[in-house]
């Protein structure tokens, strides 16, 4: 017997985005990246007053949710918003809060 999926794809995606944005540092990072093309990890470390290891964990959460993407250019990592997923997150949140 096949079990019907209870949650829609959009609901699961919205929850993934919401979880990634559930910390003020992650919201700050996304806001910062939304105002510029990209940012290097070292620049973010200077901008956000937390340990580099903690910053790395926050970046990992945002990346796993698909909200940001990173490009390794040794010795740095360049982070940018994932524009497609960022637009999807905006759409899903807008629909949810209407």
Rounded to an integer, what distance in angstroms lies between the CA atom of residue 73 and that of residue 59? 16
Residue 4 banded pLDDT, cuts 50, 70, 90:
low
For residues 68-72, give the mean pLDDT. Answer: 93
| Assigned fold of 9-97 | Arc Repressor Mutant, subunit A (1.10.10)
Extract the tokens encoding 38. 């990209």
* Cβ burial, residue 65 (10 Å; 0-12/13-18/19+): buried
Is the pTM value of this prediction over 0.75?
A: yes
- Parse the chain into domains and list their residue ranges: 9-97
Mean pLDDT on 17-42 = 94
* Model confidence at 1: pLDDT above 60: no
């Amino acid at each position: 017997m096949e079990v019907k999926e209870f949650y829609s794809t959009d609901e699961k995606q919205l929850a993934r985005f919401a979880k990634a944005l559930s910390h003020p540092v992650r919201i700050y990072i996304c806001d910062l990246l939304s105002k510029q093309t990209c940012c290097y990890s070292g620049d973010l470390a200077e901008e956000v007053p937390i340990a580099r290891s903690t910053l790395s964990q926050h970046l990992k959460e945002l990346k796993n949710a698909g909200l940001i993407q990173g490009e390794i250019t040794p010795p740095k990592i360049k982070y940018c918003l994932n524009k497609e997923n960022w637009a999807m997150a905006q759409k899903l949140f807008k629909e949810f809060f209407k």
